[in-house]
Amino acid sequence: MPDTTAAPAQDGGMLRPAFWRHKKVLVTGGAGFLGSHIVDVLSGFKCETFAPRRHEYDLVNFAEAKACLDNFQPDLVIHGAAYGGGLGMMQVNPAKLYYDNLVMGANMLEAGRLAGVAKVVVTGTACSYPGDIGDSMNEDDLWKGFPHKSVYHYGLSKKMMIVQGMIYYEQYQFNAVHLILANLYGPRDTFHPDRSHVVAALIRRFVEAKEQGAARIEVWGSGRPVRDFLYVEDCAQVVLRAAEVYDDPAPVNVGPGRGTSIRELVETLSDVVGYTGEIAYDSSKPDGQRVKTLDVGRMARCLGWRPATSLREGLRRTVDWYRHNKAAADQKS
Ligand code: GDP
C-alpha cells in the first residue's frame, strides 16, 4: 500500500484551476445537496462537467451506470450520489437504503474501471465507523467493531467501497479515493422533517417558532450526543482538493475534527435565529451514536487542507439561505 503520510505541496489547501483545465468530470448526485456545490465550484474552472439525473441514468442498474461512463467518457468521477437522511429516515426502509448505496457504489467503481477513468473520488460517511469507538475516530479504527445499530446498514453499504477501492488498487492499480465525511449541513440541505438531519431539522423548527412567536420547541433525545459539523461549501472544496492531490485507497476523514454537542448546537442556533423561547428535549426520540468526531490528522498531512467556515458562520449562512428559500426547501423531500 502506498505511503499515506506524504505531504502535498504547502499551498494552504487552495484548489488548482490548472489541474481541471480540459478535464471531463462526472459528478454523480450533481443535482443533490453536496453534488450541486461541487458542480458550482467546477463551473469556475475550464473543465467539462456532467451531472446526470437519476431519470437519465439509474446508477443502481449496472448497464445504465456503464452507459453513463461510456457515453460521457470522463477523466475523473466524483461519486457524490447517495440515498440517505437523518436518524429518523434511516429507520424507514433500511433494506432499500442498504441495497441502493451498496450496488450503486459497486457499479460506479466497476464501470469506472472498465471505462479507464483515471480516478474515482467516493464520498463516504462517519456512520461506517464502529459504534463505540470513543471520542475521536481515527482511520485505523475503522475495522475495530460494528457500526451503531441506528445506521449500520447505511454505514456498511458505503464502507464496502473502501474494500473495493483497496482490492481494485491491488489487482488493477485502479485509483479510488475514499473520503469519510463528517456531518454535513448548509444551503440546499433537505429540510423536510421526514428526511432531515439535525441542523436542517432544527433550523426549520427555530425559524418557524420565531416567525409564529411559539413559546417552545422540541429537540430530539438528550442533547448529549456529539457530532462533527462540516459546512457543505467547505466539503465541496475538500472533495476537489482530494481529486487533485490524493492517490491512495487508504480512506481519509474530512471535517473540522471538532466535537459539538447537540445542546451546544441548539444554543448557537437559538442565538443565530434570535429565538428566546423554551427548549424541550424529547427523550422518547433516539439519540443515535454517542459521539461522532473525526480525527483529521491524515487530512491535514495528506491534503494540506482545513475547513474555512466556523460553525456559527456556517449556521448563519444556512439560516439566511433557508429564510430566502423556505417555500421550496420545505417542499423538497
Ligand atoms: P446522525 O449523525 O446519523 O445521528 O444524524 P442526525 O443529524 O439525524 O442526528 C444527530 C443527532 O441530533 C442525534 O443525536 C439526534 O437525536 C439529534 N437531534 C435532535 N433533534 C433532532 C431532529 O429534529 N432531527 C434529527 N434528525 N436529529 C435530531
CA angle (191, 197, 201) in 5-degree steps: 45
The predicted pLDDT at position 198 comes to: 97
Taking residues 82-89, what's their average pLDDT? 87
Ligand 1 atom closest to the CA of 126, numbered from 1: 2
For ligand 1, atom 25, the nearest C-alpha belongs to 198
CA distance 194 to 192: 6
Residue 133: pLDDT band (50, 70, 90) is confident
Per-residue model confidence (pLDDT) at position 8:
66
Grade residue 7 by pLDDT with cuts at 50, 70 and 90.
low
Does any domain span residue 318? no
Ligand 1 pocket, 182 CB below 6 A? Answer: no
- Choice from 33, 87, 269 to test ligand 1 binding pocket (greatest atom count within 8 A of CB): 87
Asked if the structure places residue 194 within a domain, the reply is no
Spatial contact of 80 and 27, defined as CB atoms under 8 Å apart? yes
Rounded distance between C-alpha atoms, residue 129 and residue 131, angstroms: 6
pLDDT tens for residues 291-303? Answer: 999 999 999 999 9
Is 274 a member of any domain?
Answer: no
Helices (H), 10-81: 17-20, 33-42, 62-72
Of 37 and 87, more confident? 37
Instruction: Find out whether 83 and 129 touch, Cβ atoms under 8 Å.
Output: no
272 occurs within a structural domain: no
Q: What pLDDT was estimated at residue 247?
A: 97
324 CA to centre of ligand 1 in angstroms: 24
129 has catalytic annotation = no
Of ligand 1's listed atoms, the one at least distance from the Cα of 292 is: 2
**Helices H / strands E in the chain, number of each:** 12, 13
Q: Could you tell me the pLDDT band of residue 322, with boundaries at 50, 70 and 90?
A: very high
Ligand 1, atom 28: closest residue by C-alpha: 198
The mean of the pLDDT values for the chain is: 95
pLDDT digits (tens, 9 = 90+) for 138-156: 999 999 999 999 999 999 9
In a domain, 279, yes or no: no
Q: How confident is the model at residue 233 (pLDDT cuts 50, 70, 90)?
A: very high
Span 18-43, mean pLDDT? 97
Q: Which domain holds residue 119?
A: 17-185+229-257+290-309
The pLDDT of residue 85 is 86
Q: Could you tell me if the CB of 84 is within 6 A of ligand 1?
A: no
54 Cα: distance to centroid of ligand 1 (angstroms): 27
Ligand 1 atom with the shortest distance to the CA of 201: 23
Ligand 1, pocket-test mutation among 220, 260, 282, most atoms within 8 A of CB: 220
Contact present, 218 and 280 (Cβ < 8 Å): yes
* pLDDT bucket at 330, cuts 50 / 70 / 90: confident
* Per-residue confidence (pLDDT) for residue 126, from 0 to 100: 97
Centre of ligand 1 to C-alpha 240, Å, is 28
Judge if the beta carbon of residue 183 lies within 6 A of ligand 1: yes
Tell whether 262 is covered by a domain. no
pLDDT, tens digit, for every residue of 253-284?
A: 999 999 999 999 999 999 999 999 999 999 99
Locate the ligand 1 atom nearest the alpha carbon of residue 199 and give its number.
Answer: 7
The answer to whether residue 9 is domain-embedded is no
Q: Cell numbers 460494528 correspond to what residue?
A: 146
Task: Please tell me which residue in 129, 154, 231, 246 is annotated as part of the active site.
Answer: 154
User: What pLDDT score was predicted for residue 88?
Assistant: 83
Q: Tell how far the Cα of 271 is from the centroid of ligand 1, in angstroms.
A: 19
Number of separate domains in the chain: 1
Cα 9 from Cα 299, distance rounded (Å): 13
Instruction: Report yes or no on 319 lying in a domain.
Output: no
Cα-to-centroid distance, 197 and ligand 1 (Å) = 6
Q: From the CA of 86, give the closest atom in ligand 1.
A: 8
C-alpha to C-alpha distance for 100 and 154, rounded to whole angstroms: 10
CA of 201 to the centre of ligand 1 (A): 8
Look at strands 24-28 and 76-79 and give their pairing: parallel
d(CA 291, CA 227): 6
CATH assignment of the domain containing 74: 3.40.50.720
Q: Is 287 in the pocket of ligand 1 (CB under 6 A)?
A: yes
